[in-house]
A and B are shown apart, each in its own frame.
Chain A
Amino acid sequence: MNHAIVAEGLVKRFGDTTALDGVDLEVRSGTVLGLLGPNGAGKTTAVRLLATLIRPDEGHATVGGYDVVRQAHQVRGLIGLTGQYASVDETLTGAENLILIGRLLGMSRRDVKAKARELLDRFRLGDAADKAAGKYSGGMRRRLDLAASLVGAPRLLYLDEPTTGLDPRSRNEVWDIVRGLVADGVTVLLTTQYLDEADQLADEIVVIDHGRVIATGTADQLKARTGAQTVTVRPIAEDELEKVAAAVESVAAGPITRSSGLVTAPVTDPGALAHLVRRLDEENLLVAELSLRSPSLDEVFLTLTGGTK
């Protein structure tokens, strides 16, 4: 069995609300599964359940072959947890936080100091090692959270919205760290509400909404679900907009739109771009911009969840 996580029919209710309503998940070893969904979709509940913090009302799950209910202790020995709900102690320094966890995991005083130093340096927190975590910036704090979950060298890492609230630079840093871990063979379960993040990191994406899985696949597979690509053309001369629009119309698979000097239309024919370029060339129309792109995951996501912009 090559699956690090297998969950079947997970149901979790809190009073009258059903947070998870029959969720199946499979995460292959050494891959990143992105659990994508809006706020309140059940992402965090799923992570807490797979991290043995709560028990399912129905269904079952194994992590590394161990049952999350009956063999919770063994599961805890395999996982590292980071996220909105699993946090470091703000009153301790960065180093003390890591030492605390290392000691709890049974490491010797000397080993744990070396490990803490190594992790802090790796995550560029060496200079802040002796500063209270409460005084860290958002990005530093998140890196310390990550470091704390790595003290025990877990084979599986749960990242619950690891970049929520971070600026783009800090976000990229966290992404790089995650990529590095995956390169080392760590399996990652990532929850996010950013499609961009799932697109960047996840090998496979599971979209959940209202506690149910509504779509599964790679980012490309999910994008292909809308069935169309988008072509965009911007003529150099604005008075040629109508001529360009006519050219685009000849390959369009749907209604075209003109806005602020830009012509946009959906296309489905793989040869559409080549046709369009030939036509523009024949009519001597010069363009400043010409692109064919997949729909963004945002567009896919909104289609899937039935949301409106």
Chain B
Amino acid sequence: MTTLAAEPRVTPIQGVRHTLTLAWRTLVQIKHNPFELMDFSVQPVMFLLLFTYVFGGAISGSPGDYLKFGLAGIIVQNLLFATMNTGVGLNTDLTKGVFDRLRSLPIARFAPLAGRIVADVVKQAWAVALLLIVGVILGFRFGSGPLDVLAAFGLLLFFGFCASWMSVLVAMLVSAPEKVQIFGFALLFPLTFASNAFAPTATMPGWLQAWVKVNPVTVLADAVRGLLNGGDVSGPVTQSLLWACGFLVVFAPLSVWAFRRRV
């Protein structure tokens, strides 16, 4: 018994395997819950179509011209709204008891959380790719090289990953999945709409411009816009990365703290 007591813990490789198995679990859920597919497919495309054809002409003169400006914004907006799913899923697991079952198994402690996050990054990648493809079908043309598009992809996924820690924190603090959503909407609507994601900053009143210019959503939309259309993007890309790291550094430790306190 004393030899066994020498802590035969989970190896890092096993930890990765546990994480991937739990990510598989989250992705398999889509098969049984078509609404998830709505979240990640129908809704973003609907937004893209509505903005392009309803507001596009008014904002940019024609739907085609609007895509050049708005596609990046819609991708960013969708990305941030989708981070809520991480929190909703986690809170559901906590309140339904799935988390307790997982934690009673001899698996890596971080795997339940990490598995969900990995799965959500995969879903985000799917949604971003879908929006780009539909954008191209609607008439969007890349003004940059494949590497820039890839960089945009990477930046979006990293930003989404970091920002999702906010919803993880909320998930740890509230008592029901719906509350994650209520909280998320209250935060994300003003954050994404009071930015230059959908409309150029210059058309807004001065007091709003002051906020829009520092809003991380604006910064990220500018960076993605630049990476898709071509041009100098070093400023917005650096700022986006800083914002993302900021979210991560502040909200990841807080989430882990709240998690430990809760369970």
Q: Do B96 and A86 touch across chains, with their CB atoms under 8 A apart? A: no
- Report B23 CB to chain A, min CB distance, Å: 11
Report the Cα distance A76→B32, complex, angstroms: 30
- Report A75 CB to chain B, min CB distance, Å: 9
Among A85, A90, A100, contact of B100 (Cβ-Cβ < 8 Å): A85
Report the Cα distance A84→B95, complex, angstroms: 11
Which residue, of B10, B96, B100, B102, has the highest number of chain A Cβ atoms within 10 A? B100
Q: Do A86 and B28 touch across chains, with their CB atoms under 8 A apart? A: no
- Report A2 CB to chain B, min CB distance, Å: 15
Contact with B along A98-129 (1 / 0, CB 8 A): 00110111100000000000000000000000
- Report B32 CB to chain A, min CB distance, Å: 5
Report the Cα distance A104→B19, complex, angstroms: 9
- Report B89 CB to chain A, min CB distance, Å: 10
Residue numbers in B under 8 Å from A149 (CB-CB): 101
Q: Do B28 and A73 touch across chains, with their CB atoms under 8 A apart? A: no
Q: Does A18 lie at the interface of the complex (its beta carbon under 8 Å from any beta carbon of B)?
A: no
Report the Cα distance A226→B63, complex, angstroms: 85
Q: Do B101 and A81 touch across chains, with their CB atoms under 8 A apart? A: yes
Contact with A along B1-43 (1 / 0, CB 8 A): 1001101111000100010011011001100110000000000
**Stretch in contact with the other chain, from B73-81, B104-112, B207-215:** B104-112
Residue numbers in B under 8 Å from A53 (CB-CB): 100, 103-104, 263
Q: Do B8 and A76 touch across chains, with their CB atoms under 8 A apart? A: no
- Report B61 CB to chain A, min CB distance, Å: 45
A148-B33 CB under 8 A given contacts A73-B10, A87-B96: no
Among B18, B29, B97, B263, contact of A92 (Cβ-Cβ < 8 Å): B29
Within 8 A of A (CB), among B201-236: none
Contact with B along A62-96 (1 / 0, CB 8 A): 00011000110110110101001111111111001
Q: Do B101 and A86 touch across chains, with their CB atoms under 8 A apart? A: yes
Among B8, B9, B21, contact of A103 (Cβ-Cβ < 8 Å): B21
Report the Cα distance A86→B101, complex, angstroms: 5
Q: Does B136 lie at the interface of the complex (its beta carbon under 8 Å from any beta carbon of A)?
A: no
Contact with B along A120-159 (1 / 0, CB 8 A): 0000000000001000000000000000110010000000
Q: Does A248 lie at the interface of the complex (its beta carbon under 8 Å from any beta carbon of B)?
A: no
Report the Cα distance A92→B98, complex, angstroms: 12
Report the Cα distance A92→B25, complex, angstroms: 8
A86-B104 CB under 8 A given contacts A53-B263, A73-B9: yes
Report the Cα distance A76→B5, complex, angstroms: 14
Among A48, A70, A100, contact of B25 (Cβ-Cβ < 8 Å): A100
Q: Do A105 and B106 touch across chains, with their CB atoms under 8 A apart? A: yes
A101-B100 CB under 8 A given contacts A73-B8, A92-B28: no
Q: Do B104 and A52 touch across chains, with their CB atoms under 8 A apart? A: yes
Q: Does A51 lie at the interface of the complex (its beta carbon under 8 Å from any beta carbon of B)?
A: yes
Report the Cα distance A66→B5, complex, angstroms: 8
Q: Do B100 and A77 touch across chains, with their CB atoms under 8 A apart? A: no
- Report A179 CB to chain B, min CB distance, Å: 23
- Report A111 CB to chain B, min CB distance, Å: 14
Report the Cα distance A91→B96, complex, angstroms: 11
A86-B97 CB under 8 A given contacts A96-B28, A106-B14: yes
Residue numbers in B under 8 Å from A87 (CB-CB): 96-98, 100-101
Tell me the nearest residue of chain B to A52, going by C-beta. B104
21 contacts between A and B (CB under 8 A): A51-B104, A53-B263, A71-B4, A77-B106, A81-B101, A81-B104, A84-B97, A86-B97, A86-B104, A90-B96, A91-B29, A91-B32, A91-B33, A92-B28, A92-B32, A96-B28, A100-B21, A100-B22, A104-B111, A106-B14, A152-B105
Given contacts A87-B101, A92-B29, A93-B32, list 19 more A-B pairs with CB under 8 A. A52-B103, A53-B263, A65-B1, A70-B5, A76-B104, A76-B106, A81-B101, A81-B104, A87-B97, A89-B25, A92-B28, A92-B32, A100-B21, A103-B21, A104-B22, A104-B111, A148-B101, A149-B101, A152-B105
